[in-house]
Amino acid sequence: MSGSSVKRILIIAGEASGDLHGAGVVRELKKSLPDCMIYGIGGDKMHAEGMELIYHVREVAIMGFWEVLQNLPVIKSVAKTLSVLLKVRRPDAVLLIDYPGFNLRFAEQAKREGIKVIYYISPQVWAWNPGRVDKIRANVDAMLVVFPFEVEFYAKKGVDVEFVGHPLLEVFTEPLDRKQFCTRFGLENGKFILGLFPGSRRQELEKIFPSMLGAARILNNTYGMQTAVGVSSAIDVDYVKSFLRNDFPVTIVQHATYDLMKNSDCAIVTSGTATLEIGYYQTPMVIVYRTSWLSYLIGRLLVKIKNIGLVNIVAGETIVPELIQAQVRPDRIVREIRSLVENDRRRKEISQKLGIIRERLGTKGASKRVAEKILSYVS
């Protein structure tokens, strides 16, 4: 390719899950257009596939209304730099991955510059702030969704929408069996394993992880339950370890999260994509979430659906319990886990019902479909 024909694609993924799903798209784009220039906001996984990082997700992964206000100078600085890039390194297309607070504003800027905007992994406008759909219709050329129910929602609103399947299907691995897993991590095969999945952001760990550990401590004392923590690749393992008091055994599991999800007898998980991943492996769980009170109160005013857990939303019913804000206490979590431990029938029933998650995620190949859509705009 000559310099002038090199295609430029700007991608913005502001969170660990966006980095994971964006990496597949970068890989597919590079397969079809090896010389294309891909740059923007991403993480280690996108960088490894050949993307130039202008900012790392660690710098921008901020959640909650109040937290965003506190970090406004950083966010404004990032937005300003990227808007300059629209002019000086004009991309042929912009791919926005989830991260709606930032990305919907950026879509407006890109559209003003006459650049094609593709949005991958829809903001949850069906859950809150449906007024954003007008913005999407005006500024997004193609909305690529990962849940089938989103198609009807957007189509009714006149948005160009396509279901591409869920990218998680590309990254799920065949986990170790129970015996191999226990041998690798020094756990006892015959004893109950409780998996803790505290999230990928420091602020989530600060607000939620101590209560998870408090519940695990009680369950260890009561049932001799084994505790293992699945550590996200987006967070420093030493930071996770800093929460441990070493007063009961806790096994740290890193780079083998799916093995833990599959082999846990039940799990305590921070609300987010991890609930879908655990649901895929049909492991019973308790979903927990706590944010600042201001963010929670604003959220309550805006959220229009009864569930917060993606696994329950996708299933279309409350299969697993959800604990929010003041309910996220060790004793309350223990009560929910105890009902699973002491009732085999309930545990099996939940596991069975979670089978619907595999059906609802579509078929493999989301990254390729997204890359093809982008290429149809830049070719």
| Residues 215 and 321 reside in one and the same domain | yes
Shared domain check, 125 and 87? yes
Tell me which residue of 263, 295, 232 sits closest to 70, measured CA to CA. Answer: 295
Return the amino acid letter for 150: E
Give the model's pLDDT for residue 372: 97
Write down how long the chain is: 379
pLDDT at residue 272, rounded to an integer:
87
Q: How far apart are CA 311 and CA 277, in angstroms?
A: 8
**Do 371 and 269 sit in the same domain of this protein?**
no
Look at residue 127 and tell me whether its pLDDT is greater than 80. Answer: no
Q: What is the pLDDT of residues 36-58, one digit of tens each?
A: 999 999 999 999 999 999 989 87
- Rg of the chain's alpha carbons, rounded to an integer? 21
- 203 and 280 part of one domain: yes
258 and 340: one domain?
A: yes
* Cβ proximity of 285 and 319 under 8 Å: no
What distance separates the 2 farthest-apart alpha carbons in the chain? 68
Q: What is the CATH number of the domain that holds 327?
A: 3.40.50.2000
pLDDT band at 3 (very low <50, low <70, confident <90, very high): very low
Judge whether 322 lies within some domain: yes
Does residue 262 sit within a domain? yes
Kindly tell me if the per-residue pLDDT of 67 is higher than 70: no
Q: What is the model's pLDDT at position 61?
A: 59
pTM: 0.81
pLDDT band at 230 (very low <50, low <70, confident <90, very high): very high
Q: Is residue 172 part of a domain?
A: no
Give the chain's domain count.
Answer: 2
**Residue 38 token pair:** 């891909």
Whole-number Å distance between alpha carbons of 258 and 237: 17
Residue 232 pLDDT greater than 60, yes or no: yes
Mean pLDDT of 103-107: 93
Q: Evaluate whether residue 336 is within a structural domain.
A: yes
**Residue 213 pLDDT > 70:** yes
- For the stretch 285-343, pLDDT in tens is 999 998 766 665 656 655 555 777 899 999 989 999 999 988 999 999 999 999 998 99
Average pLDDT over residues 260-279: 96
Q: Which residues pair with 143 in a beta bridge?
A: 119, 161
> Which tokens in the block code for residue 367?
């990254």
Tokens of 224: 């001799």
Structural domain contains residue 215: yes
Sign, Cα dihedral of 23, 24, 30, 36: negative
Query: H/E/C letters for each residue in the chain?
Result: CCHHHCCEEEEEECCHHHHHHHHHHHHHHHHHCCCCEEEEEECHHHHHCCCEEEEEHHHHCCCCHHHHHHCHHHHHHHHHHHHHHHHHCCCCEEEEECCHHHHHHHHHHHHHCCCEEEEECCCCCCCECCCHHHHHHHHCCEEEECCCHHHHHHHHCCCCEEECCCCHHHHCCCCCCHHHHHHHHCCCCCCCEEEEECCCCHHHHHHHHHHHHHHHHHHHHHHCCEEEEEECCCCCHHHHHCCCCCCCCEEEEECCHHHHHHHCCEEEEECCHHHHHHHHCCCCEEEEECCCHHHHHHHHHHECCCCCCHHHHHHCCCCCCEEEHHHCCHHHHHHHHHHHHCCHHHHHHHHHHCCHHHHHCCCCCHHHHHHHHHHHHHC
Q: Does residue 156 share a domain with residue 11? A: yes
With respect to residue 34, please indicate whether it lies within any of the assigned structural domains. yes
Looking at residue 209, its amino acid is F
Structural domain boundaries, residue 51 = 3-166+362-378
Domain match, 42 and 104 both: yes
Mean confidence (pLDDT) of the chain: 89
More confident of the two residues 134 and 209: 209
**Spatial distance between the Cα atoms of 301 and 279, rounded to a whole number of angstroms:** 28
Does residue 72 have a pLDDT over 60?
no
Cα–Cα dist 300/314, whole Å:
20
Chain Cα centroid distance, residue 142? 21
Q: What CA–CA distances, in Å, run from 378 to 9, 93, 121, 210, 277?
A: 9, 7, 20, 48, 33
Amino acid at 334: V
- Ranges 94-103, 109-118, 306-315, 361-370: which has the least confidence: 306-315
pLDDT of residue 1: 35
Confidence of residue 2 (pLDDT cuts 50, 70, 90): very low
Same domain, 208 and 286: yes
